[in-house]
Amino acid sequence: MYAVRSGPVLVKIANMMFKQKFSVTRMPGFSVVAMICFFALYMPLAPLVIYSFNEGNNIALWEGFSLRWYGSAWENELVQGAAIRSLIIASFASVFATIFATMAALGTTRTKPYRGQMTIYAMINQPLMVPEIVTAVALLILFALIKQATNYHGFAYLIIAHTAFCIPFAYLPIKARLEGMDNTLEIAAADLYARPFKTFRRITLPLLLPGIFAGAMLAFVISLDDVVITEFVKSAGQDTLPTYMLGQLRRAITPEINAISTVLLGVSVLLVTLIFFMSRKRGN
């Protein structure tokens, strides 16, 4: 009697427990661990940002607040040139990478499952797995051959290289968006005699846009921050902001480097925040 009556209650309790058990945020010590992680992630950046406002020449000796180094970085022609180059490369690379990534995402989600789909998926994401230095050395050797053969030393090498390693970063948010999108609308469009391209233009693409923007911005940030591959691929006079900064570290460093780093950090945080809001909007 007792057992029969308590049965549904037990199930209810079990259900509640089951549900709670899978909410990580309710695990004991979650907030402590989270705080430690955030601390470890962001603490090292604090001195960098603080000393960018240093009045003196030192990167570890506080001599009062000033925006002096921001001014000197802004007026430094080498920094200007490097920053403009970084932006040009990142713009082109992110646009190309996003176009390829969108095509790849459509090709791996909006089709009937086919043989080798997993292989293709793995191949697209390869740049995420291969150590950057391996890609860099490979590109160095390949491009050196092409440079010798064609005598062309322009920006195209950097843009091609950046496009290549940005593709997976643009691909992941776009693919996620496509997988989350209900394809009944596309089926409905097809039922109403829309040609595949029209369906894509009028239905798929508008719905996919937030994912495409998120992918493009992620690609942009990744290209903007790249050091290793750029260092090996760049030709004469093609220093980007990160490789310029790396060069500075060898000799006397001034808080100018902190100022440039802080601005780069700010741009990255801004873009990532935008990506976050964009993906939240699509969630709602």
Which single residue is written with the structure tokens 């740049």?
Answer: 127
**Relative orientation angle of helices 156-180 and 132-150, to the nearest 10 degrees:** 130
Binding mask 249-278 for other proteins (x = CB under 8 A): xxxx--------------------------
235 in contact with other proteins (CB under 8 A): yes
DSSP 99-120: HHHHHHHHHHHSS---TTHHHH
Contact yes or no for 97/172 (Cβ under 8 A)? no
State the nearest-atom distance from the C-beta of 75 to other proteins, in Å. 12
> Is 125 or 254 the residue whose CB approaches other proteins more closely?
254
Q: Decide: helix, strand or coil at residue 246.
A: helix
**Using CB under 8 A, which residues numbered 133 to 152 contact other proteins?**
137, 140-141, 143-148, 152
Cα within 13 Å of Cα(38), Cβ side: 6
Count of beta carbons in the 10 Å neighbourhood of residue 13? 11
Q: Which two tokens stand for residue 50?
A: 């603080």
> Is 4 or 61 the residue whose CB approaches other proteins more closely?
61
State the nearest-atom distance from the C-beta of 200 to other proteins, in Å. 16
CA–CA gap between residue 224 and residue 217 (Å, rounded): 10
> Is 147 or 202 the residue whose CB approaches other proteins more closely?
147
State the nearest-atom distance from the C-beta of 238 to other proteins, in Å. 7
**Using CB under 8 A, which residues numbered 41 to 100 contact other proteins?**
58-61, 88, 92
Which residue ranges make up the site for other proteins (CB under 8 A)?
A: 58-61, 88, 92, 137, 140-141, 143-148, 152-156, 159, 231-232, 234-239, 243-244, 246-252
